[in-house]
Structure 1
Amino acid sequence: MTFAKLDDLGRKLEALEHALSILGADEATHMAIGGGEKRADAVSTLAGMHHAQATAPHIRDWIETAKAEDLAADQRLAVEEFERDYVKATCLPTEFVERSSSASMRSEQLWRELRAKGDWKGFEPALQGVVDIAREEAALRSEATGLAPYDALMDKYDPGNRAADIDAVFADLKNFLKAFIPTALDAQEARLAKRPRKALNAPYSIEKQRELGLAAMQAVGFDFNHGSLAVSHHPFCGGVPTDVRMTTRYRTDEFLTSLMGVLHETGHALYEQGLPKNWSHWSLGKARGMGIHESQSLFVEMQLARSPEFWQFAMPLVTQHLGADALPGWDIDDVLTEVNFVERGYIRVDADEVTYPLHVILRYDLEKELIAGTLQVKDIPEAWDAKMQDYLGLSTIDNPKDGPMQDVHWPSGGFGYFPSYTLGAMTAAQLASAMRKDLPNMSADIAKGDFSAINQWRADKIWSQASRYSTPDLITKATGEKLNADYFKSHLKSRYAG
């Protein structure tokens, strides 16, 4: 059967993907600075090999022949998903893939060096090169798919995302948040007048924080036989489902930021570890886009880990690993004040869930203009500052380190990714609402630190389904209705307006 040829090809491609993923994770965590040039060459070569094998002309014939064979239902779905990826991949020449991989890795390496200095001028030429390549890729994908250039880039990360749809949702959410943030801040001020914030008993050793993070990962279901935790400049979850490489970063003056980051990345990891192993070498067995991926991480971080029920379980865990004096005189309400503290800030990854979507919408607005060519790289700092002032009342004009240089996405060529974060937050809130209807003991289970039923629900509804359905269909099947922002808005009002 021709299906068997595609199956064998899938295993070979998976092996190259495995190598690329592990090399990428190592480059961000353990590689010596002097290894950067050769690592970029190695990644570029492997990416070229993968692309050449995945886009070979004869695969088109294999797909057509396999579609005519007597296949089982899952096999037919697998071929259809393989075909979708093949069409997307064949629009990019191997030479372009090699050039793109090398440019993005070298840009990211330079970003790590220059971001700490806030050296925008030094970094600008490298980013210009990456943006030029992104525009070239958008044009190639647009020609092959018939999508608008930016839509074609988004389709890499979330098949089905279209700017026309997202624009309306984000405009509505932006208007809601700009009005709601003052409400949330006023409510917070009233609470603090009655119950002031308490000081943390710093310093907190990195090793003890690491042990706390590992304990939290284990509690919510992370499989340490198939994953690990390291340190990087920018927290991420990478590697492969059988060897998930999670990272975080630490501060000794407080531990909550790292703990929340660990829980966020654990949400990603649980999704990867829960994907169907029998289909791991097919597109069908991979995660269904980054919006769903972000929904899984934000479900753990926002819906679970910032709730009062979670901290009934977590307070003793903190004492166990950081010591009895880690939170002297604190109770759950004091912790919730900290983990749900709302403030207008510069850094996206440190933002609370009320202001966070505005950070995403800012980036979404700017990168659409970058790809369209209506915004030039040299003008990013001014454009960024204007939107920061409009959305959050803050200026970054003299602070590129905490402005347009703060994220790894653009230096690494990740244009079209940012919308997934906020779409994921909406999905997480909608999933949580549906889950509570199906699991009447959900709150009690969280308070006990028992996440088995919650994880089983997600395994059944999301993880095991992998890429069997489109993103909209997957959400509808899991929750009983199409994705909308109402649940996210209700969640924010419930947690922050009272």
Structure 2
Amino acid sequence: MSMHYETLEARFSKINDLNHALAMLQWDDAAVMPSGGGVARAEAVATLNGLIHDQLSTPEVAELIQATADEPLDAWQRANVLEMKRSFDTAMAVPVDLVTAYSKATSICEQTWRRLRAANDFKGVLSLLSEVVNLTRRRAQCLAEAKGLGHYDALLDTYEPGLRQTDVDPLFSSLSDFLPECIDSILARQQPVIPIDGPFTERRQAN
């Protein structure tokens, strides 16, 4: 029997439900939410991220993960346990107050950027972006200490396990050599944009 795995799977199913609700709130924020609801939505998203963190970072999860080592799991289940452990290790590395602060700061920053980008008002979002960068550096410090990696590698590992800066740098080096001339060549051949001015009646649209 795989009793410990089944208990662990049930717990992560609930965590997945919270992540699903979180994704819906974030989609609504980006797509249709009135701007006046921004602060309240950022608070709600931060609270959900805190709840997810609390569900992950418990001694019970650690014990269940360890106990699955003695259970007859198939390859798929073993892979699930590895991903569960990655999530657990990440949660244990970053304190919940930093999780919620980072969540709220990124939400407010993105909302403000969406509002100001049409006016190309970078200064209006600069202080908020600086706060996000500062909190990201704090997260990187926590993850780096837990994983035994450099700060940038620790962040990369969160999104692409095993990827390192030494793998990425050559890619960007080649792009920095190639892109400027490529962009200039494309722009030189580009035709001017023909403006399309409306409104258009239904009859004109049908033709």
TM-score normalised over the length of structure 2: 0.85
2:159 maps to: 157
Q: Which of 124, 135, 139 is the equivalent residue of 1:122?
A: 124
SS in 2 for 1:160: coil
Confirm or deny: 8 A CA contact 2:56 2:87 kept in the other structure. Answer: no
Q: State the partner residue of 2:96.
A: 94
Percent of aligned pairs sharing the same letter: 36
Q: Could you tell me how far apart the structure 2 residues matched to 1:74 and 1:105 are?
A: 35
Residue equivalent to 1:173: 175
CA distance in 2, matches of 1:92, 1:78: 22
Q: Residue 56 of structure 1 corresponds to which residue in structure 2?
A: 58
Deviation digits for residues 314-370 of structure 1 (CA, Å, limit 9, x no counterpart): xxxxxxxx655xxxxxxxxxxxxxxxxxxxxxxxxxxxxxxxxxxxxxxxxxxxxxx
Aligned length: 202
Distance in 2, Cα, partners of 1:202 & 1:18: 40
**Distance in 2 (alpha carbons) for counterparts of 1:198 and 1:143:** 53
Report the alpha carbon displacement of residue 40 of structure 1 after superposing the two structures with TM: 1.5
Following TM superposition, by how much is the alpha carbon of 1:176 offset from its aligned partner in structure 2, in angstroms?
Answer: 2.8
Kept after mapping to 1: 8 A contact 2:38/2:111: yes
Task: Measure the CA separation in 1 of the matches of 2:32 and 2:186.
Answer: 41
Deviations 1:286-319 (A, max 9, x none): xxxxxxxxxxxxxxxxxxxxxxxxxxxxxxxxxx
Q: Kindly state the Cα deviation for residue 62 of structure 1 after the two structures are TM-superposed.
A: 0.6
Please name the residue that 2:115 is paired with.
113
Amino acid at match of 2:82: E
CA gap 1:133/1:200 in 2 versus in 1, 3 angstroms: same
d(CA) in 2 for partners of 1:66, 1:78: 11
Q: Secondary structure at the match of 1:71?
A: coil
Partner of 2:12 in structure 1?
10
Q: TM-score, normalising length from structure 1?
A: 0.38
CA RMSD of aligned residues (A): 2.6
Q: Which amino acid aligns with 2:122?
A: W
Name the counterpart of 2:196: 202
Give SS of 2:138's match: helix
Q: Which runs of 5+ in 2 are unaligned?
A: none
Structure with more helix by fraction? 2
The offset of 1:199, in angstroms, is: 7.0
Residue of structure 1 equivalent to 2:23 = 21
* Alpha-carbon separation, structure 1, partners of 2:180 and 2:42: 42
Gaps of 5+ in 1: 209-321, 325-498
Q: Deviations over 1:462-490 (max 9, x none)?
A: xxxxxxxxxxxxxxxxxxxxxxxxxxxxx
Code of the aligned partner of 2:51:
M
Instruction: In structure 1, give the amino acid aligned to 2:172.
Output: F
Listed one character per residue, the Cα deviations across residues 72-111 of structure 1 (whole Å, up to 9, x for unaligned) are 2211121122112221221111111111111111222222
Q: Which amino acid aligns with 2:79?
A: L
Asked whether the equivalents of residues 49 and 103 of structure 2 are also in contact (C-alpha less than 8 Å), the reply is yes
CA–CA distance in structure 1, aligned partners of residues 57 and 161 of structure 2 = 19
Letter aligned with residue 170 of structure 1: F
Distance change (3 Å), C-alpha of 1:41 and 1:66 = same
Amino acid across the alignment from 1:35: G
Q: CA, structure 1 residues 178+58, in 2 after alignment: closer, same or farther (shift >3 Å)?
A: same
